[in-house]
Amino acid sequence: MQPTFVHSNSVVKDHAYQQWFGELKIRLHRHQVKAAVHVNTEMLEFYWSLGRDLVQMKAETQWGTGVVEQLSLDLKDAFPGMKGFSTTNIWYSKKWYLFYNEELIKLQQVVGEIPMPKEFGAVPWGQHILIITKCQSVDEAMFYVNKVVEEGWSRRCLEEELANNLYARRGKAITNFSNALTLPQSMLATEVLKDPYTFDFLTLTQGYNEKQLEDALAHNITRFLLELGSGFAYVGHQMELRMPNGQSYFPDMVFYHIKMRCYVVVELKVVEFMPEFAGKLNFYVSAADHLLRSEDDNPTIGLLICRSKDETIVQWSLEEINRPIGVASYQLQEVVDETLRMKLEN
Residue-wise pLDDT tens digits, 85-116: 899 998 999 999 999 987 655 555 555 567 88
Helices (H), 107-204: 125-134, 138-151, 155-163, 166-169, 177-180, 183-192
CATH number, domain with residue 256: 3.40.1350.10
Residue 124, pLDDT score: 92
Contact predicate 231/193, CB 8 Å: no
Tell me the average pLDDT across 194-220: 89
Q: How many helices (H) and strands (E) does the chain have?
A: 15, 9
CA gyration radius for the chain? 27
Q: What is the pLDDT of residues 122-133, one digit of tens each?
A: 899 999 999 999
Domain count, the chain: 2
Residue 339, pLDDT score: 45
Shared-domain flag, residues 278 and 248: yes
Which helix (H) or strand (E) segment is 82 a member of? none
For helices 138-151 and 155-163, the axis angle rounded to 10 degrees is 140
Domain of residue 246, residue span: 169-338
Is 114 part of a structural domain of the chain? yes
Q: Taking 50 as the threshold, does the pLDDT of residue 297 lie above it?
A: yes
Is 8 part of a structural domain of the chain? no
Q: Which of 167, 199, 230 is the last residue of a domain?
A: 167
Whole-model pTM: value is: 0.68
Q: What is the pLDDT of residues 21-75, one digit of tens each?
A: 566 667 656 655 566 667 788 888 888 988 888 888 888 888 788 888 888 888 8
Q: Which of 167, 189, 215 is the last residue of a domain?
A: 167
For helices 87-106 and 125-134, the axis angle rounded to 10 degrees is 50
Residue 99, pLDDT score: 92
Residue burial 233-260, b: 16+ Cβ < 10 Å; e: rest = eeeebebeeeeeeeeeeebbbbbbbeeb
127 versus 339: the higher-pLDDT residue is 127
Is 43 part of a structural domain of the chain? yes
How far is it, in rounded angstroms, from Cα 298 to Cα 275? 26
Is 345 part of a structural domain of the chain? no
38 versus 312: the higher-pLDDT residue is 312
Shared-domain flag, residues 157 and 176: no
Residue 25, pLDDT score: 64
Confidence class for position 172, pLDDT limits 50, 70, 90: confident
Please give the backbone phi and psi of residue 328, each rounded to the nearest 5 degrees, phi first: -135, 170
